[in-house]
Amino acid sequence: MDQIAADAAPAKRTMVFVHGAGHGAWCWYQVVTMMQAAGFNTVTLDLTSAGLDRTPADNVMTISQYAKPLTDFLSDRSSSEPKVVLVGHSLGGVSVSYAMEAHPDKVDKAIFLSALMPQHGETPLEVIGPYFAALLQVGLFKPQQADGSSSPTSVAVNRTVAPSFFYNQSPAEQINLALSLLDDTPLSVFDEVMTLTPKRYGSISRYYILCGMDKTVPFNVQDYFKLSRLESRTFNFRVSVKSDRWKWLDFEELMSTDNKSLFTAGIAGTAGQGYRVNGDNKKRALTESRDFIIRVVALP
């Protein structure tokens, strides 16, 4: 384990990774391999109807039901065990937020990786309404109806369109693997009013990582979440643009004077699906990605 990892991973800190729409625990395989090598415990979960959980998406009626594998994991965790770090990507931010409200005593901090960040009293669909409508219009998501239903109950991912949106920085072999594993997602997750209280959800430190090439949750939406919905201390990891993707130059930590909001830097590519680089460049990119996440985990 190198010094960066040693400084940030005391007592085998546990990180719980939560996938986005259409995906499952499998999408984190590259990230968790890096984090395990750096000395972290890692947990990946299939939310209800995703991955190896074969519950039909049309049968999932609430966020509670959808996020149950995550809340069950936290509920079963002993109070004597160290608190975990939750990492949610894209739609995974909804389940992470729900779990923070349900089990604030089990969560040390939450990292939103290009993720939805709902507020109390609103639905996830309200957060991304115009952008979700645009994704439907271009055909990335296809509404599905359960037998006997008069309105859509789930959305399927269009495998023809998905590579351009989900995997625009990924190598061909990873794209082909991912396309074979995509699942439908319950529409109920988008349409339920969230209850997120200051005493529970608000008691947990929240951090946001911007993904500059994400075409599903656009950069300006991520930036809006970062600027308007974070109340933690401000940290600014200096970044610049290199070629066609975001790239960080160093990990300089800058404390703001108001101590009210958090800034984090953009990182290359999308969550867990890798980089369009080869050989030594790939190794370097993955190492820098790991070190970036470790630095965020080490924040108070």
pLDDT, tens digit, 9 for 90 and up, residues 265-288: 333 333 333 333 334 444 555 566
Average model confidence (pLDDT) for the chain?
A: 77
Task: Between 239 and 232, name the one with better pLDDT.
Answer: 232
Q: Distance between CA 280 and CA 210 in Å, rounded? A: 25
- What ranges do the domains of the chain cover? 3-297
| pLDDT category of residue 100 using cuts at 50, 70 and 90 | very high
Contacts of 18 (CB under 8 A, 6+ apart): 45, 47, 70, 86, 87, 88, 89, 92, 95, 96
Q: What are the Cα distances from residue 247, in Å, to 244, 275, 290?
A: 9, 12, 13
Q: How far apart are the first and last CA of the chain?
A: 22
pLDDT for 245 beyond 60: no
pLDDT tens, position by position, 63-86? 999 999 999 999 999 999 999 999
pLDDT for 24 beyond 60: yes
CATH class of 3-297: alpha beta
pLDDT tens, position by position, 142-181? 999 987 778 999 999 999 999 988 887 778 888 999 999 9
pLDDT for 106 beyond 90: yes
Round the CA-based radius of gyration of the chain to a whole number and report it.
Answer: 18
Q: Are 131 and 214 in contact (CB under 8 A)?
A: no
| pLDDT category of residue 228 using cuts at 50, 70 and 90 | low
